[in-house]
Amino acid sequence: MSGILRIEQVCNKFGDQSVIGDQTLDMPSSQSLGVIGLGGFGKSILPRLLSGFVLPDSGRIEIVGDAMWRQKADARGIDVNRLRLVRAKVGMVCFSSSSYFHT
């Protein structure tokens, strides 16, 4: 296990538009992650990917050394029980600055 969070060549698209393209990150357990940026650059999709609500088009995400998902042996879908075990290790706080700062 190399870190608490490992993202390997993750890509996510909406139609023809790449929202997250070929991103890699290896985060040690002693660090936190904050994401800021302009609209349309993947800030909202990242927590969805990390919680397993959205699957990337390609790549791999590991939380504490466990893959976020694995195909079932019969290849008909995602192994939901395994995903639940990995989700139990994830905690996030998400907010939008527009919710707190009105002009």
Per-residue pLDDT of the chain (103 residues; tens, 9 = 90+): 467 888 898 888 888 888 888 888 898 887 777 788 887 777 888 888 887 788 888 888 888 887 877 655 555 556 777 778 777 877 766 666 555 544 4
- The full set of domain ranges for the chain reads 5-100
* Position 1, amino acid: M
Give residue 77's pLDDT. Answer: 59
Which residues, 6 or more positions from 59, have their beta carbon under 8 angstroms from its beta carbon?
7, 8, 9, 10, 11, 22, 23
CATH topology of domain 5-100: Rossmann fold (3.40.50)
Give residue 69's pLDDT. Answer: 72
Segment 68-97, tens digit of pLDDT: 776 555 555 567 777 787 778 777 666 665
Residue 90: closest CA among 42, 40, 27, 41: 27
Q: Give Cα separations from 20 to 1, 58, 77 (angstroms).
A: 24, 10, 23
